[in-house]
Structure 1
Amino acid sequence: MNARSPQGLPARLLLAVLRAVRTYPRRSPLTLCYVGLLVLGHVWVENLLSTDRADALRGYISTNLDNLHDHPVTALFGSALLFDGTLTDIASTGFGGTLITLGLGICCCLSWAERRYGGLRAAAVLLGGHIGATLITAVVILIALRHGWYPDSVRQDSDYGISYGAQTSLAFATLALPRWARLPWAAFVLAWPLSGDGEWPGPLPDFTTVGHLLSAGLGFALAGTAALLAARRRRTEAALATADAHT
C-alpha cells in the first residue's frame, strides 16, 4: 500500500508521531526538562510527603491574595512547579484537566513554541501567562470583594498549578494551525474552562475561570503580536530583496 494514498494516512500519522517523539529531546529540551520537573514534583507531593505536609506545601505556594501579599515570589514561582491534577485516575475529570493542561498545553503547545521561537521566548509565553493572569486575576478578586461578588474566604482559597501558563500556551499555539482550524481551536481554548460544574458566586464566574479566560486572552494577544512582527519582517525582507535586484 502506498503511504501517500488515503489508505496510508494512519501509517503517515504513526510515522509523524514516532518522528516527533524521537526528536523531542533535541528540539524541545527546555519543555522536556520542565515536564520532568512537574512529574517529579507531582510524585513527591502526592506519594512521598505526608498528607499534612503536602497540604501545607500546597497552601504555601497557592497564589491567593494572602500569599501574594506575604510572599509573592515564592508563591508565583512555586505554584508553577506543580500541577493540580492526576496522572492515574483516568476516569476522573481531573485527568481530563491534566490531558489539556500538561498534555496539550505544556507537552505539545509549549514544545511547539520552543521549536518555533526558541527556549527563552517559549519560557516568556509560559511565565507571562502564569504570572500575568495571576496578578490580573488578583485585581479582579479585589474588585469583586469590594462589590460583594465573592465571599471574603476567597482570600485564602487554594489556587496553584500550571494551568494559567498552559492556557496561554494553548492560545499562543493558534499560530501553528492552518487558518481554517484557528477559530474552532480558539473556541475550544475559551470553552473548556467554562465547562466545569462550578457555580457563579455573582455576576462573575469563580476566580479560577476568570484566570483561565484572562490567560487565554494573553496568549491570543501574544500570538497576534508574533504574527504582526513576522508579517513586518517578511515585508522588510521583500523590500530589501527588491532594492538589491535594482542595484
Structure 2
Amino acid sequence: MEHTVAEGVPGSHDVAELLDAMPRQRGPVGAAAPRPAPVIGDAPAAPSITAEAIAATGAVASVEAVAHPRPRVRLRPWHLLPTPTGTPFTCAYAAVLVVTSLVVTYADPDLVHALLRGSSTDVVHLVQTPMLVLVASGLWVAGGLLAPYSVCFLLVLTALERRIGSARTAVVFLLGHILATLATEVPVGLAVLTGHLPASSLHRFDYGISFGVATSIGALAGLLRPWLGLPVLALFGEMLIQDLLDLTDPLTNWGHLIALLIGVAMWPLVRRWRASGSAALG
C-alpha cells in the first residue's frame, strides 16, 4: 500500500529536523518544562539557571578557594622602623639627628655650646631671626640618641608617615614644633614686658624635637584603632601632666602638653589625609 503525505503536513524527516532544532531541557524525564521568560521588545529572555549549574558553580568556587587561598596578613616588625623608600622624611630627619648628636658628643664643648645657644628659640632669637631658630632648634636632640623622645621620634613618625605620607607628616611635626614654641615663648616675652619675669628669661636655653614628637603622638592616636590609640594618648598625657606637677621645667612641660593637644586638634585633618591617600592607592 502506497504511503502518501497530505499536502501541508510535514513528513517524518521534517518532523525529525524540527525536533533536532528544538532546545533540549535538562532535568528528569517527564518533568514539566519551565516556562520561558517573557521577552520585552527585542531583548532576549534571560537563560534559566538550573540546580545543576548552581551546584557546578559552587564546586568550581570551592576548588578555586582551595587552590588559591587568601593570603594571610603577616606582622612585619621591620615596618616599625623608617626606610629610605617607605618613610623618606623620617629616615632623612633621623640621619640629620644622628649627625648633630655626634657633633654634640665629640666636638669641642665651646663650639657645641655656641651652636646650641644660636639654635635656641628664646624670645630674643625669635624676635631677631625667627625662621632660622625655629628650623635650627629642631635639628638637635636634648638628651642624646637614647633619650625617650628619640625612640618616640623613630616609632611615631614612621607610623604616621606610613599612614598620611611624607609631606603631611612634615607638616604635622613642624606645625606642632612651631606653634608650641610660640605658645610658650610669647607669654614669657609679655611677662618680661609687664615686669612679672626678669630680663634674663628672654635668653632661655630652648631647643630639641620634643614639641614636634608630642604633636605627632597626638595626631597618630587619632589614626590608630580606639583600643590602641586611646591608651597611648592617655598614658602619654598622664606622663606629661605628672611632669608638669613635678615642676622640673614648667614652661617646657606646658609646651609638651600644648603640643599634644595640637596633635589631637588635627584629628579631622589627618583622618581626611589618610582617607584621601587610601583612595589614591586604591
Q: TM-score, normalised by structure 1?
A: 0.72
Pick closer, same or farther for the CA change 1:231–1:35 going to 2, 3 Å.
Answer: closer
Give the secondary-structure state (helix, strand or coil) at the position aligned to 1:160: coil
Q: Select 2:150's aligned residue among 89, 102, 106.
A: 102
Residues 118, 61 of structure 1: alpha-carbon distance in 2 compared, 3 angstrom cutoff: same
Determine the structure 2 residue equivalent to 1:141: 188
* 1:118 alignment partner AA: G
Alpha-carbon distance between aligned partners in 1 of 2:241 and 2:174, rounded to the nearest angstrom: 23
Tell me which residue corresponds to 2:227.
Answer: 180
Tell me how far apart the structure 2 counterparts of residues 231 and 137 of structure 1 sit (CA, whole Å): 30
Aligned position for 2:110: 52
Q: Where is the helix percentage greater, Structure 1 or Structure 2?
A: 1
Question: Gapped runs of 5+ residues in structure 2?
Answer: 1-72
Query: 1:220, CA displacement in angstroms?
Result: 0.6
How many Å apart are 1:150 and its aligned residue?
4.4
Query: What is residue 216 of structure 2 aligned with on the other side?
Result: 169
**Aligned-partner SS, 1:134:** helix
Residue 187 of structure 1 deviates from its aligned partner by: 2.0
Task: Show the 5 A alignment for 1:5-44.
Answer: 16-18=76-78, 20-21=80-81, 24-44=83-103
Partner of 1:80: 138
| Structure 1 residue 73 displacement after superposition | 1.4
C-alpha distance in 2 between matches for 1:154 and 1:53: 23
Distance 1:73 1:192 in 2: 31
TM-aligned CA distance change 1:149 to 1:102, over 3 Å: farther
Amino acid at match of 1:225: L
**Structure 1 residue 192 displacement after superposition:** 2.4
| 5+ residue gaps, structure 1 | 1-11, 88-94, 238-247
Q: Retained in 1: the 8 A contact 2:244–2:250?
A: no
* 8 Å Cα contact 2:90-2:154 kept in structure 1: yes
Separation of aligned partners in 1, 2:233 and 2:227: 11
AA partner of residue 68 (structure 1): L
Shift of the alpha carbon at 1:53?
1.1
Query: Which residue in the other structure is 2:237 paired with?
Result: 190
Of residues 120, 124, 131, the one that matches 2:178 is 131
**In 2, distance between residues paired with 1:198 and 1:145?**
24
Amino acid at match of 2:215: T
Relative contact order (alpha carbons < 8 A, sep ≥ 6): 1 or 2 greater? 1
SS at match of 1:26: coil
Residue in structure 2 matched with residue 226 of structure 1 by the alignment: 270
CA offset at residue 198 of structure 1? 7.9
Tell me how far apart the structure 1 counterparts of residues 270 and 223 of structure 2 sit (CA, whole Å).
Answer: 12
CA contact (8 A) 2:164 2:270 kept: no
C-alpha RMSD over aligned residues: 2.9
- Using the TM superposition, give the Cα deviation of residue 133 of structure 1 relative to its aligned residue in structure 2, in angstroms: 1.0
Q: Give the letter for the 1:141 counterpart.
A: V
1:148-159 aligned at under 5 Å gives the runs: 150-159=197-206
User: Cα deviations across residues 189-243 of structure 1 (Å, max 9, x unaligned)?
Assistant: 2232344488649xxx72111111111111111123333x37997xxx9xxxxxx
Do residues 212 (structure 1) and 256 (structure 2) align? yes
Instruction: Identify the residue that residue 9 of structure 2 maps to in structure 1.
Output: none
- Which SS does the other structure have where 2:179 is aligned? helix
Q: Distance in 2 between matches of 1:190 and 1:220?
A: 11
Give TM-score, length-normalised by structure 2.
Answer: 0.64
